[in-house]
Amino acid sequence: MVNTWRYAPNDLIIRENDPGESAYIIESGKVAVSKESNGKQVHIAYLAKGATFGEMSMVDDLPRSASVTAVEETVVREFHRDDLYGAMKENPDVFGKFLKSIFERLREANSVIANMDPDSKRQGRLANLKDPGSKAESFSIEGVTPAAIAAVAANTFVIKTFPFKIGRKSSDPFLYNHFEIEDKDPAQISRHHVSIVYEGGRIGVLDRGSELGASVGGTRIGGKHGPGPVYFDGKEGVLILGEDASPFQYRIRVAW
């Protein structure tokens, strides 16, 4: 049986180090993920509608690796381990969401670890990401070229979670992107292309293993250039998905 739960702002959904045999899909609202470090809670990420959490403990039978707290009124669906095994046959879309989440987080963790400086690796330093809703911050993606404008018009989204994932639109059940772009062969956009990150008041872009990479304010990432992240100078910058002549060019902005 799948349970649906409603949480008020600041309600604790799961606690770090507690045992857990359930995973969750966010139906509505937003949650914060945090870990304890040196006696303090360090913010890791914000997750919004469609995101999953708790799946790692359900799979490896280890204690929860982080705490998750509701930021606003939030509704989640809870799946017990046995329910998820049943979903492998009866509801493959649900099962695929959890697998996508696991694979994507492993990919992002590998990219971050590969680009950490030696001191950060030794100290296990964690990025303190800001809530995109704090201090009246607002984020926008604006198309610079006709193809980019058309892609924005085809998507209805609000940037409420970071990393914000961008990729090619596909029927592949193992894909999860916040911003899906229709692209035909020879395609500029990969299924897993880039993630937009926000750290310390800076907007950055991280390659997710794309075929052609991207340009971030004139700096190439992806392939031989490495995954990044690369940060824009100031509060905005131009992101080109694919080659420099790609028709998918966007202006990313943060405003106060």
Q: What is the pLDDT of residues 75-89, one digit of tens each?
A: 998 887 766 666 666
pLDDT at 80: 79
Residue 136: DSSP 8-state: G
**pLDDT computed for residue 95 by the predictor:** 64
pLDDT at 218: 93
Superfamily of 3-123 according to CATH: Jelly Rolls (2.60.120.10)
Q: Hey, do 3-123 and 134-255 end up sharing a CATH topology, with the first three levels equal? A: no
Strand partners for 3 = 78
Cβ of 173: how many Cβ atoms within 10 Å?
Answer: 13
pLDDT digits (tens, 9 = 90+) for 218-243: 999 988 888 888 999 888 899 999 99
Q: Name the nearest CA neighbour of 239 among 203, 209, 201, 211.
A: 203
Tell me the residue type at 41.
Q
Of 7-11, 41-45, 192-196, the one with minimum mean pLDDT is 41-45
Provide the token pair at 103. 């694979």
Say if residue 131's pLDDT is above 70. no
Map out the domains of the chain as residue ranges.
3-123, 134-255
Structure confidence at residue 126 (pLDDT): 31
Mean pLDDT score, 194-211: 86
- 130-134, 185-189, 205-209: which range is least confident on average? 130-134
Measure the CA–CA gap between 203 and 55, rounded to whole angstroms.
Answer: 28
Least confident of 80-89, 169-178, 183-192: 80-89
| Percent of the chain topping pLDDT 90 | 29
> Any bridge partners for residue 180, and if so which?
167
**Which of 194, 200, 199 has its CA nearest to residue 250?**
194
Band (pLDDT 50/70/90 cuts) for residue 141 is confident
Q: Which of 15-19, 101-105, 176-180 has the least mean pLDDT?
A: 101-105
Question: Domain 134-255 belongs to what architecture?
Answer: Sandwich (2.60)
Strands (E), the chain: 3-7, 12-14, 22-28, 30-37, 40-48, 52-53, 67-70, 74-80, 138-143, 164-168, 179-181, 194-199, 202-207, 214-216, 219-221, 230-231, 236-241, 249-255
What pLDDT score does 84 carry? 64
pLDDT of 56 over the 50 cut: yes
27 CA to centre of own chain: 16
pLDDT at residue 244, as a whole number: 94
What is the rounded CA–CA span in Å between residue 176 and residue 170? 10
Per DSSP, the three-state class of 82 is helix
CA dist., res. 5 & res. 27, Å (int): 10
- Give CA–CA dist 144/122, Å, rounded: 42
